[in-house]
Amino acid sequence: MTPIDILILSNGPGEVTTWVRPVVKALREKLGDDRDEVRISVLLSPCPNASGKEAAIALSYPEVDRVQSAEYFWQFLLWGKTFDNWDWRKKGVIVFLGGDQFFPVVIGKKLGYRTVVYAEWEARWHNLIDRFGVMKPQLSAKASAKYAHKFTVVGDLMLEANSSDITPNSQLPTPDFPIIGILPGSKAAKLAQGVPLMLAIAEYIHSRKPQTKFVIPVAPTLDLETLASFGDSQKNPFVETFKFSSTTLVLTEQSNQKPLLKTGKGLNVELWQENPAYELLSHCSLCLTTVGANTAELGALGVPMLVLLPTQQLDAMRSWDGLPGILANLPGVGSTFAKIINWLFLRRKGLLAWPNIWAQEEIVPELVGKLQPEKVGDMVIDLLTHPEKLAQIQTKLRRVRGESGAAQKIAQIVSEEIEKLGE
C-alpha cells in the first residue's frame, strides 16, 4: 500500500471530544495501525469556544500521530507550512470535522489531497469537495442532481456514545442509592452561573434526601482549581446570587479516592476526570446539565436529564458561536451586545437539548429563566420519588437516539477515497 496521510480538520472542544475521537478510532479499525502505511494528523482551527487544551486532548488519542494547535492555523492556511514543518506524503485524504467548510477546499488544493466533509446542518462547496458524509438525508436532497453521488447519509456523530464505549470499573459507586451527575459545562460563560446554581440544587436535594450521591464528570478542558473557583464567592459573584454556600477543593494522594468539592453545608461532590465518562454517566439516575454536546451524550446513553439555562444576568451568557459570540465578547461594548443577543434568543428560542431536537418535542425538561435552586431541586426529588417518570424519559431517549455507526460510515467513505488515489 502506498503510504497515506489522513489530515483531520477540527476546531472546538465539542468537536474534538465527540467527533474526532470516534472517527480516528474508526479509521484505525478500518485502515489498520501501521503508521508507515496510514498516518493520522489533526490540524485545529480557531474557535471562540476553545479552551486552549484541544490540541493536548487530540494528541492523547492513541490513534493520532501528530497535532497542531489552533494558534498556528492561519500561517498554514496561507503558506502551507506547519509550525513544526511537517512533511506530507504524496497521497492523502482530508477529513473535515469542524470549522469552516472552505478550509478543506483550500488545504486540499495545496496538498493535492481528496476531501471528505462531515456536514451536520449544511453542506457547502459541492463542486469543490469530493465527498460528503451528512447527518440527515435532507442535506442530500438540497444538492444538485449532478453532485448527488458525492453525498452519503452517515447519521449523527454525537450518537457515538454508546454501550460499546462502557467498560466495567470497580471504582464506580454501587447503584443502591440515587446518583446525580452535575455537568455545568467547560467555559467560563456557563460555569459562572452553572456551578453555583447546580451545587445549590445539590445541597437542597441532599438536605431532603441525604442518601443521594453527587458526581461531576470534569470536562477534559477544565482543571480542578478553575472549576472550584466558580464556587468561591470571592471570585464569582453568582455564588451569592444563587445563595450558594461555597466550595473547597479537597485533593487526596490516595489513588482509590476521588478529589472532592466540599460545600459550605458539608456536601461532598466527587470529581471524576476520566474521559469519556460514559461508564459513570450510565450509573446516574439523572443529570443536571447545561445546553451543548453533553445533552447529546446523555441522550445517546439514555440518561434522563434536566437541562438548565439560568438567565439571572443576561450579559453573562457570551458563549455563542460565530458573529454573536464575537460581538458579545468585544471589549467595552460586549456586555450590551450580549444583553441584546440573549434577549432576542430567549424570545425566539426553540428546542435546546439535542434529544429534544432529534425528537422535535420536549422529552427532557428544558428550564430557562431566573432559576431557583429549591424549585429545580423539588423537580429532581419528584423524579427520584417517582422512578416511573424517569423510566418514561429513558424509554423516549432510547427511541429517538437512532442508530450509532456514523464514525464507521465516515471511515468507509475515507477508505473509498483512498482507493481512488491509486486510479
Instruction: Convert the pLDDT of each residue in 16-61 to its tens digit.
Output: 988 999 999 999 999 999 999 999 999 999 987 777 889 999 999 9
Q: How would residue 375 be classed by pLDDT, with cut points 50, 70 and 90?
A: very high
Helices within 349-421 (DSSP H only): 354-359, 373-385, 387-400, 406-421
Provide the 8-state DSSP code for 143.
S
Task: Find out whether 83 and 72 touch, Cβ atoms under 8 Å.
Answer: yes
Lowest-confidence region among 134-143, 224-233, 336-345: 336-345
- Report the alpha-carbon distance of residue 255 to residue 94 in Å, rounded: 41
Structural domains of the chain ordered from first start:
4-155+405-421 (3.40.50.2000), 165-400 (3.40.50.2000)
Q: How would residue 346 be classed by pLDDT, with cut points 50, 70 and 90?
A: low
Lowest-confidence region among 216-230, 241-255, 261-275: 241-255
Q: How many CA atoms lie within 13 A of 227 on its CB side?
A: 27
Lowest-confidence region among 82-86, 89-93, 269-273, 311-315: 311-315
Mean pLDDT for the chain overall: 86
Place of cell 494528523: 41
- Report the alpha-carbon distance of residue 92 to residue 40 in Å, rounded: 10
Taking the CA atoms of residue 138, residue 139, residue 142 and residue 143 in that order, the dihedral angle to the nearest 10 degrees is -140
Give me the pLDDT at residue 170, please. Answer: 42
CB environment 299-320: b (16+ within 10 A), e (fewer): bbbbbbbbbbbbbbbeebbbbb
- Whether the predicted pLDDT of 100 surpasses 80: yes
Give me the pLDDT at residue 341, please. Answer: 54
Place of cell 496561507: 78
3-class secondary-structure state, position 48? coil
- Whether the predicted pLDDT of 323 surpasses 60: no
Task: Find out whether 29 and 119 touch, Cβ atoms under 8 Å.
Answer: no
Q: How would residue 173 be classed by pLDDT, with cut points 50, 70 and 90?
A: very low
- Report the alpha-carbon distance of residue 2 to residue 17 in Å, rounded: 30
If you average pLDDT over residues 105-121, what whole number do you get?
A: 93
* CA-closest candidate to residue 96, choices 23, 149, 13: 23
- Whether the predicted pLDDT of 315 surpasses 50: no
pTM value?
0.71
Q: Which residue has the higher pLDDT, 320 or 223?
A: 223
How many angstroms from the chain centroid is the CA of residue 20?
Answer: 11
Percent of residues, the chain, with pLDDT higher than 90:
56
Which residue type is seen at 359?
Answer: A
- Report the alpha-carbon distance of residue 348 to residue 360 in Å, rounded: 16
Quote the cell numbers at residue 409.
460510515
Give me the pLDDT at residue 128, please. Answer: 93
Give me the pLDDT at residue 318, please. Answer: 47
- Report the alpha-carbon distance of residue 108 to residue 92 in Å, rounded: 9
Give me the pLDDT at residue 275, please. Answer: 80
* CA-closest candidate to residue 232, choices 224, 65, 210: 224
- Whether the predicted pLDDT of 121 surpasses 80: yes
Task: Find out whether 198 and 184 touch, Cβ atoms under 8 Å.
Answer: yes
Listing DSSP states for 301-360 in one string gives: HT--EEEEEE-SSGGG-----HHHHHHHTSTTTHHHHHHHHHHHHHHH----SHHHHHHT
Listing DSSP states for 166-214 in one string gives: ----TTSPPTTS-EEEEE--SSHHHHHHHHHHHHHHHHHHHHH-TT-EE
CB within 8 A of 172, min separation 6: which ones? 279, 280, 283
- Report the alpha-carbon distance of residue 108 to residue 197 in Å, rounded: 46
Q: Which residue has the higher pLDDT, 311 or 6?
A: 6
CB within 8 A of 180, min separation 6: which ones? 202, 205, 212, 213, 214, 215, 284, 285, 286, 287, 288, 380
If you average pLDDT over residues 214-218, what whole number do you get?
A: 95
C-beta atoms surrounding 264 within 10 Å: 15
Lowest-confidence region among 150-164, 232-246, 274-288: 150-164
Cα dist from 317 to 133, 139, 154, 163, 338, whole Å: 32, 31, 33, 34, 7
C-beta atoms surrounding 110 within 10 Å: 15
Q: How would residue 404 be classed by pLDDT, with cut points 50, 70 and 90?
A: confident
Lowest-confidence region among 139-143, 150-154, 199-203, 260-264: 139-143
